[in-house]
Structure 1
Amino acid sequence: MKKRIALLLAMTMAATAFTGCGNTTNTQSGTTSQPQSTTVSNDVWPAIGSKDAPVTVKVLVKDVLPTEEDVIALCDVVEKKMAGHGQYIDLQFVEPPAGSYATALPLAMRTGDVDADIVYFQGGGDLPIAQEGLLEDLTPYIQSSTYVKDLMLPVNQSRLKNYPYLLWLAPARTYVPVMKKELTTKLSSYDALVKDPTIDNYHALFTEMKAKGLVKYAITADDSNNAGEGNMRRLNAFFNQAFGVKSTLVKEDGRWAFSRATESEKKKLEFYASLYKEGLLDSEYLTNTWDVLEQKFYEGKAGIISGTVGDVIQIYNNKMSSTTGSDLVVLPPAKGVAQGFQAVDVTKEERGFALNAESKNKNAAWAFLEFMASPEGRIIDKCGIEGKHYKVENEKIVFTDKYPEWWSRIWVTTNKFEPNPPLARPVYTDAAQSSLDLANQYYVEDVNVLIPEELAPQWDAMKSLYDEYSADIIRGTKPISAFDEFVTKWNKAGGDKFAEYLKTKLG
């Protein structure tokens, strides 16, 4: 089996399982009917089952409980809406296997203990299952689709081309930096940064917010070590491109090499070391957990953090607004050698929905996924259950006080979400929507390769070396000149062997 590792190309909630949600009681009695989408040709809705014999569609998703009132209502309204198009299904969500989802699910798939037509993967484990022929190739389904195909972003298209077994209609999980809007009015360097986000202007912003005593640290990070990024993935997300770390793999002196062992990386680490020395970078960045990091931000100890576009920025904004009265603003990626957010891995989807190759009802299962991507399905997915999470007033969708309890069970994307009737207020706050817009504007694709099992030990050793040296350089326990020593050890640990392998893969 092969392991995945991200590299870069310069361009670039979850649900536990349900059982038997079908044929449930309608919870919408007494409410107005759900808004209808624009009528489309019957060709869009191929016949599925019949009123007297609906086709059972079983779905397994992490963190969606079968006994939840909202889940029961979801099944009920989806069945009724699909029946209106001549597609009769009995929608059921099934319990996931016990244990860690990422490890228990693949095992259950192999043993035949997963009785589901649609399976949601998260946290890995799908690659070997796909290689064993247990997942269906989604290419022909998507090619013949109307709504799913229309919602796909470039990242979805690239990943599907490389790995046609998982589909996740969502933007790339890019990190973007945010800060309190309230702070921007107290910083003369803010406008200059927004106009021209150079590395120097970022440094000026960091320096001013600390010098004025507005924060203890300008920026913070956490101990989540992702693929050997030395705990700096949140900063890397908006500084990598500016320093010329434009991809995980780059070509230097006629051979492919990892960007972690390049002069561009050295300059970036030197910059991080200066931030640490000046007290601008949180001195506890190596030991902060994600919740500690976020709490420092909410309490005003840290001026800037970066988070995942869309939903996470929405959470950050709502919490900050409720505790301090200030919304957030999203900052652009730093500009230098290049400008963009960190390159996005397009080798495959990291999470998403798959069709069980053993399913006898693949067409009906796909019809459900297609419906949820349609205008009608998206109103359900994004707005919730009419009468509970929203109501229609003055020909507009108005969210109720129960709306914050709702979240998308299937497609989280807001791409092309223009419901009819329209929303009285947007689904996302300005900050969350801005994060999505900027991520699309500064989208960069990574160059990716699959690492053979025989080189996995070398890769682990190389990552450990990087983590050690990058942390020591940033904290000043090693001088920046130690980077050259690191490169020598890196190549000896496996860099030279990888060069040979990469030549066969990338030329």
Structure 2
Amino acid sequence: MSKRKRMKKSIAPAMVLILAALSAAGCSTAGKSGGGDAAQGGGNGPVTVKVFKTHMGKGTIPDNNNAHVKYVAEKTGVQYALSTSPPGADPTENINVMIASGELPDIMRPIGGVEQTLIQQGGALALDDLLPKYAPNVWKSIPKEAWDVVRTASPDGKIYYIPKVYMIPERVPMIRKDWMDKLNLSIPKTKDEYVTLLKAFKDQDPNGNGKADEIPTLGREFGTWMDHLFAMYGVAMWEGKPEWDIYEGKIQYAGTSKNMKAAIGFMRELYSQKLLDNETFLNKGDVWQAKINNNLVGNWYHLPASLKDKVDAMRKTAPNAYVTALALPKVDGFNGFITQKSIGEAEWLIPKASEKLAPYSLKLLDFFYDPANEDFVRFGVEGLQHEVVNGKKKLLPQTEDKPLALDMQNFTTKESMDKRLDQLYPEDQAKMVKDIFEVGTKDARRIAGDGMPSSVYEGFPDIQSHKLFQEYLAKIIIGEWPIEKFDEFVDKWNKSGGDAVTKRVQEWYDKVQKYSKQ
């Protein structure tokens, strides 16, 4: 995941409350966060910085006596006070309510496009001068092209947030190699060979349980997490949502492209032959996960870096389970690729109301980007986050009753990923995932819309949510509507705001080109 982070709801309904809160908050948050005179550099102990981060996983919020909190404070002079979304809460709603109530953190991970509201309304702090001074490791690590994209998100061309940087493809199509070996099959090179392989998975009992219950390939509800089927046709997709890329010589919404129509037609054929799971549009995340873990699925699309738990589950009943990458099969007339989004997504933002504590917030962030702290960032404190087995550190599983540990770095290169795999995975699984990344990297391409701000959708929440696309996608694939209805969708999309959004996207893309030449 998975960046990846749905923009389920428009941020517009919360805007009035947010603006009122920003006006009333002033610098009150900074005054409440600092440890007395220490907040002003008085030397009365570590400065407390309130950090809000979503998607933390299982665990409790650490207090000031937590060993991880203490270690970071000892090294930086900054004591982090962590908060996250309540269990089951929608992170976008949660963060909007938090801002609207005036309970602003000192540094936060924005989500759902809220960074755009804060930037446009003066609620975000410009970081151009502060980053080189207080967070030199962050400033040096993130490439210029990423900072250039960040500048396009603001009307004044300033840097208002630290971006996520992921220089290898996060998502790759994967396939059960042990199934192919059993059926004497190899990686398909063409679409027709791929269909033949899916039919073999369906009909020849590759998992050996005699039940003929294998699922050749699948996706999730709303048509998400089956991007490999779009990728074969050169459609820019991110977790089942169309992105923006160059089609017919200009930047366009992939959802209305000729490539998309062809891809949907192909998936309609797979669905009718039960080669695409007929429960795809009903599969919630836990159901989708269970099908893969229980050795029922031959081919799926997900994050190689999270493969370990799946393989461990598979091998409980299939000891020889082995996963490899599916190089994209060739489709005549189309140039397939895996969508790569590497830069520009907002990762950390400092509210204007917390300007006084910005140096401390950035010093805290810089700790996690400092190469000297890499081992601690990855493994944390012995007994809390890791144990030592045969002289090697091994991460302990997260549990509901164990304190969480803050990690603020989201900068990934091939080298850092390889090191992570060597440290955290058994040798055979580390090689497995490295091989998957290698194949995925060959098929991946950064799309033109990488880093595009959500502000292009302002006033058009239905376009931003992809609801119209998802309706037509599902009904055409399951056979309720004919493929010809796709043309009706394109017309509706354009008339309901698509034309206006496309104009804004083109203006943004022109800015990207301008900054890249400077």
TM-score with structure 2 length normalisation? 0.70
Partner residue of 2:67?
Answer: 73
For residues 497 and 295 of structure 1, the distance between their equivalents in structure 2, rounded to whole angstroms, comes to: 42
Partner residue of 1:468?
Answer: 471
Partner residue of 1:221?
Answer: 219
Aligned residues: 440
Contact 1:398-1:425 at 8 Å conserved across structures: no
Partner residue of 1:340?
Answer: 337
Q: Which residue type is aligned with residue 344 of structure 1?
A: K
Distance change in 2, residues 1:491/1:335 (3 Å)? same
Partner residue of 1:356?
Answer: 351
Q: Which of the numbers 422, 443, 453 marks the counterpart of 2:445?
A: 443
Q: Which residue type is aligned with residue 271 of structure 1?
A: F
How many angstroms does 1:265 deviate by? 1.6
Deviation by residue 1:431-477 (Cα, 9 ceiling, x = unmatched) = 444555555551322424743544445x379x454333332322223
For residues 21 and 500 of structure 1, the distance between their equivalents in structure 2, rounded to whole angstroms, comes to: 43
Partner residue of 1:478?
Answer: 481
Q: Which residue type is aligned with residue 106 of structure 1?
A: N
TM-score with structure 1 length normalisation? 0.71
Partner residue of 1:125?
Answer: 114
Partner residue of 1:234?
Answer: 225
How many angstroms does 1:113 deviate by? 2.0
For residues 324 and 302 of structure 2, the distance between their equivalents in structure 1, rounded to whole angstroms, comes to: 12
Q: Which residue type is aligned with residue 103 of structure 2?
A: D
Give SS of 1:317's match.
Answer: helix
For residues 84 and 257 of structure 2, the distance between their equivalents in structure 1, rounded to whole angstroms, comes to: 48
For residues 465 and 88 of structure 1, the distance between their equivalents in structure 2, rounded to whole angstroms, comes to: 50
Contact 2:127-2:160 at 8 Å conserved across structures: yes
Give SS of 1:93's match.
Answer: strand
Contact 2:251-2:448 at 8 Å conserved across structures: no
Q: Which residue type is aligned with residue 171 of structure 1?
A: Y
What pairs with 1:93-104 in structure 2 (closer than 5 Å)?
Answer: 93=82, 100-104=90-94
Q: Which residue type is aligned with residue 477 of structure 1?
A: E
Contact 1:220-1:304 at 8 Å conserved across structures: yes
Contact 1:22-1:91 at 8 Å conserved across structures: no
Partner residue of 1:203?
Answer: 195
What pairs with 1:13-92 in structure 2 (closer than 5 Å)?
Answer: 53-62=45-54, 63=56, 67-68=61-62, 72-80=66-74, 82=75, 87-92=76-81
Aligned-pair Cα RMSD in Å: 4.2
How many angstroms does 1:353 deviate by? 1.9
Q: Which residue type is aligned with residue 254 of structure 2?
A: S
Q: Which of the numbers 295, 299, 304 marks the counterpart of 2:299?
A: 304
How many angstroms does 1:61 deviate by? 2.7
- Provide the identity percentage: 20
Deviation by residue 1:317-338 (Cα, 9 ceiling, x = unmatched) = 3433455332432323444432
Give SS of 1:189's match.
Answer: coil
Give SS of 2:50's match.
Answer: strand
Distance change in 2, residues 1:281/1:155 (3 Å)? farther
Q: Which of the numbers 102, 122, 134 marks the counterpart of 1:112?
A: 102
For residues 420 and 280 of structure 2, the distance between their equivalents in structure 1, rounded to whole angstroms, comes to: 41
Partner residue of 2:409?
Answer: 411
Partner residue of 2:26?
Answer: none
Distance change in 2, residues 1:168/1:201 (3 Å)? farther
Partner residue of 2:424?
Answer: 427
Partner residue of 2:310?
Answer: 316
Q: Which residue type is aligned with residue 201 of structure 2?
A: M
Q: Which residue type is aligned with residue 217 of structure 1?
A: I
Contact 1:206-1:218 at 8 Å conserved across structures: yes
What pairs with 1:210-289 in structure 2 (closer than 5 Å)?
Answer: 210-214=202-206, 216-223=214-221, 225=222, 231=223, 233-236=224-227, 238-246=228-236, 248-249=243-244, 257-289=252-284
Contact 1:137-1:165 at 8 Å conserved across structures: yes
Question: Greater shift after overlay, 372-381 or 160-169?
Answer: 160-169
Distance change in 2, residues 1:329/1:69 (3 Å)? farther
Partner residue of 1:384?
Answer: 380
Partner residue of 2:21?
Answer: none
Unaligned runs of at least 5 residues, structure 1: 5-19, 24-47, 226-230
Contact 1:21-1:91 at 8 Å conserved across structures: no
Q: Which residue type is aligned with residue 362 of structure 2?
A: W
Q: Which of the numbers 116, 120, 123 marks the counterpart of 1:134?
A: 123
Q: Which residue type is aligned with residue 445 of structure 2?
A: Y
How many angstroms does 1:220 deviate by? 0.9
More helix by share: 2
Q: Which of the numbers 154, 175, 178 marks the counterpart of 1:179?
A: 175
For residues 436 and 55 of structure 1, the distance between their equivalents in structure 2, rounded to whole angstroms, comes to: 41
